[in-house]
Amino acid sequence: MNNLQKLIKLRGLTVLGIAEDIGHGYHHVQKVVNGTRYKRSDGSYGTYSNTAVQKAVAGRLGLSYDQAWGPKSRLALRRLIKKEIDKHARQQTRRLQQQFLNNNTIAEKQANGNV
């Protein structure tokens, strides 16, 4: 899974949903996002790319083209992935506190170990 796919997954999105949102075919968007390689007639390999699709996907994710596909995209995407992970961790912490600590409140007796 590449960094763009990880970011899409962490944001709760799907390539199918993105394809529908941007008005391009699912399989084409999937190949562009996945970085699918293909064999050229001369025997060399290329990667599916389409600037219009790439710009549309980046826009849908709230990114610039360079953030998603530019030369420094790896670093930019990893930073965004870290932010999404931190956001999920905060949300999970809140859910667990609400579930097990009654909204993160501990009675005074419990806090002092007098239970």
The pLDDT value given to residue 31: 96
Q: Is the pLDDT of residue 103 over 70?
A: no
The string of pLDDT tens digits covering residues 33-91 is 999 988 999 999 988 889 999 999 999 999 999 999 999 999 999 999 999 999 999 99
The pLDDT value given to residue 115: 58
Which ranges of 2-115 would DSSP assign to H, the alpha helix? Answer: 3-10, 15-22, 26-34, 51-60, 65-69, 73-100, 108-111
The pLDDT value given to residue 91: 96
Residue extents of the structural domains in the chain: 3-111
CB count in 10 Å sphere of residue 8: 20
Contacts of 63 (CB under 8 A, 6+ apart): 76, 80
Q: Is the pLDDT of residue 106 over 90?
A: no
- The architecture CATH gives domain 3-111: Orthogonal Bundle (1.10)
Q: Is the pLDDT of residue 28 over 90?
A: yes
